[in-house]
Structure 1
């Protein structure tokens, strides 16, 4: 009996030791601080992602009991590192990830379900735009939240429109008439550079006005063809712009960055771009004259024509292990609440990152006129954002074929019929 009692005591000591060891990594430090390991896709967040960095710094200042351990690497190395960490089940507590890889981690059941966070913070749930949540929701499980919004469209030089007596377009017919005037006066209507084949953001939104998101699931399933009557009309519109000489003469040999310079130098009336170019435009000589436009509506388009593009960028994810530790989970929830709340949103705004919520924000229009105009377009009540960018919901090889098809028509190397067939042929290799 004595030996039995000694054995029980020994086993109890061992079990208590093991419990202590299992909680060692996640328990608060001696001073009561909880550490969140946060892996981000840039090596120097201070300079490369100042908006994000300032949100984190302010959160720590207001929550001294929570320390954010930033783990920064350049994107390619970061993604590779996250994949390696997932293989050994040692993911960081919170981390940025590419959408396709995020979905793989979700399917491997390695991510925390953030539905509880959303349900506990209804003000954030109501404030976030619907597509910011639905994009990273899998059968009711909220496995990710957007790092930032991605806003794309056309910047336009209002001074050029006024100089040549052209109104800011609303319809495709308006754009055609403007193109005729600009061509006559030696001005490129839309600055573009085919050497960077992905630079077709506003043109992808135009494709959404021809029913892209109504059709894409059936197209990928092989039940409908990309080579359809509606998409053909879309490519015919691009061909018409090409014939009217809307694009640069050197579009085939020009890069996207050269197209930006063409616009900034006042040689083009519009630029197909996005939020990332706001600062550069505001710092240029034409900054005070630049506005932002979602692109033309089409009389022969499909359904709603007032489609904007305010879509979620790559997501922030939380590891499943972080959610299994109540102390760490509470700290993560506090961080997310600050990040997506009014304070975090205002810090983003102060750094010219557009809002992904409908929270009231303050913008100094005198200092940031282009950014103010972009945000005003985001706030238009009668416009609805496409759920995502069309190229981000299909396999990469199909996305590349879509870029090729659009620039093929812009360059004059494809007819509209050939353009739709190029993409359809690529889909057939995927299926």
Structure 2
């Protein structure tokens, strides 16, 4: 009996120990799991938090691919975000309007002019940015000449674009000038003489891609701004009339050059790529394009550059050397006020503009629009370096045709200038019709 009792007590003790062990093991697993979860939460909070998705609508082709990729990569390092890039396929805003109409407007999107900004102001699809710009210290980071026309008529800033001023330049192929013994023209008279020499030798003096109206209009603006620094822009803001002597003389000089053989006979069927090839291969001596073309001639190599002031009045070359055709206007990147992360999107949008500027300088040697030093990875092409050195000397700029705020005036200028170039209308008819349209719509 005593042995049986002892045996029963041992069994009870074994069960008790097993239960305690099981309880302790269970508690250990629970505690360990809790500690691991806590550590995991802490780690996520410190650097592995869930990424916030943002949609970015921006031009994403050609050299912009590398620029956008670098900018986006750096943004995703700075912010807890994941950016989806949507390629901008048009500059008219049609696609953006469609997106807005169906409630699919991206968080950050690119607008290409004041007209689109005003359209979205009416629909409530654009957000003021000056509060975040002040917080970010934009005015201290960006050169004044690279800020563009930030402020809208209502006093707010809706879009940002920090890049060097974009001008219209007349580029030259040095080998063609050398082959025919022609000096680089420094004023209008010398340009006219060079035109005659090239035309006599079956060389296209100026590769105009008139399949698009804008290069011809910009050429007219360049001449007009030799007489009035405001160029076409002054016609829009009412500080000048197209009947003023300088604008009439500019139209006369366009016709005079065309009659001397300045542009090719097939110019109106020539697109940009075809004109580039004519210029690059020496079938054309000159071409007109924006400063973005500096990237192309860098690939062509040495022997390509741009003329200083080839449309200046003789004797007044120095006076108008830094009066430039083309320039900035309202436009750039803005924010959808109906998005889920508006405050974050505003901060990211500003940083995107800055990182774009940095990437453009580092990757392609474009002129630096920022107040602090950014070093190109490779030495700039001589023409690009020249332009970079000149930016701080600019006295005035005009703007490009796509920035003309009134669509009726823009359409009339497109049509009438094409007709002037082709000989379809006279200078008198061009001036009279444009005067009527401008005064009725500005």
TM-score normalised by length of structure 2: 0.73
Aligned positions, number: 390
1:335-383 deviation digits (Å, cap 9, x = unpaired): 523531xx542311244383471443434666x62xx513522431332
Q: 1:87 to 1:404 in 2, by over 3 A?
A: closer
SS of the residue aligned with 2:265? coil
Q: 1:47 to 1:283 in 2, by over 3 A?
A: closer
Residue 68 (1) aligns with residue 83 (2): yes
Are residues 1:204 and 2:204 paired? Answer: no
- Aligned partner of 1:362 in structure 2 is 375
SS at match of 2:267: coil
Match of 2:276 in 1: 260
Structure 2 contact 361–374 (Cα < 8 Å) conserved: yes
Per-residue CA deviations over 1:281-333 (Å, capped at 9, x if unaligned) read 4444xx321112365353399985522234258421112346x96xx525642
Q: Which residue pairs with 2:127 in the alignment? A: 112
Residue in 2 aligned with 1:244?
260
Stretch of structure 1 that moved more, 99-108 or 304-313:
304-313
Q: Secondary structure at the match of 2:417?
A: helix
CA distance in 2: counterparts of 1:244 and 1:373, whole angstroms: 28
Match of 2:407 among 367, 385, 396: 396
Superposed displacement of residue 262, structure 1: 1.6
The residue number in structure 2 matching 1:8 is none
Kept in 2: contact 1:204–1:390 (CA 8 A): no
Q: Determine the structure 1 residue equivalent to 2:179.
A: 163
The match for 1:348 among 360, 365, 371 is 360
Counterpart CA distance in 1 for 2:87 and 2:353 is 18
Q: Distance in 1 between matches of 2:88 and 2:146?
A: 28
- 2:302 matches 1:292: no
Q: 1:189 is matched with which residue?
A: 205
Match of 1:86 in 2: 100
Pick the structure with greater CA Rg: 2
Q: Which residue of 2 aligns with 1:23?
A: none
Deviation at 1:105, TM superposition (A): 1.6
Q: Does 1:374 align with 2:384?
A: yes
Structure 1 position 395, deviation (Å) = 2.3
Shift of 1:244: 2.4
* Alpha-carbon distance in structure 2 between the residues aligned to 1:36 and 1:294: 47
Cα distance change, pair 267–80 in 1 and its aligned pair in 2 (3 A): closer
Partners of 1:139 and 1:112 in 2: how far apart?
Answer: 13
> C-alpha distance in 2, partners of 1:45/1:259?
20
Mark the CA change 1:45 to 1:64 in structure 2 (over 3 Å): closer, same or farther: farther
2-structure distance, mates of 1:268, 1:136: 41
Aligned match of 1:273 in 289, 294, 313? 289
**Selected match of 2:394 from 360, 383, 397:** 383
1:146 counterpart residue number: 161
1:37 aligned residue (46, 54, 57): 54
Distance 1:297 1:406, change over 3 A: same
Q: For residues 359-410 of structure 1, what are the alpha-carbon distances to aligned partners after superposition, in whole Å with 9 as ceiling and x for unaligned?
A: 43434666x62xx513522431332351532552242332233233333333
Kindly indicate whether the alpha-carbon contact (under 8 Å) linking 1:39 and 1:70 is maintained by their aligned counterparts in 2. yes
Aligned-CA RMSD value: 3.8
Q: Distance in 2 between matches of 1:311 and 1:383?
A: 13
8 Å CA contact 1:306–1:383 kept in 2: the answer is yes
Name the SS of the counterpart of 2:186 in structure 1. coil
The 3 A distance-change label for structure 1 pair 307 and 375 is farther
Partner of 2:42: none
Q: Please say which of residues 263-272 and 398-407 is displaced more in the overlay.
A: 398-407
Return 5+ residue gaps in structure 2 as ranges. Answer: 1-44
1:135/1:334 CA distance change after superposition, 3 Å: closer
Change (3 A) 1:293 1:320: farther
Describe the shift of the 1:142–1:135 C-alpha distance in structure 2 as closer, same or farther (beyond 3 A): closer
Q: Name the SS for the 1:269 alignment partner.
A: strand
Residue 318 in 1 paired to residue 332 in 2?
no
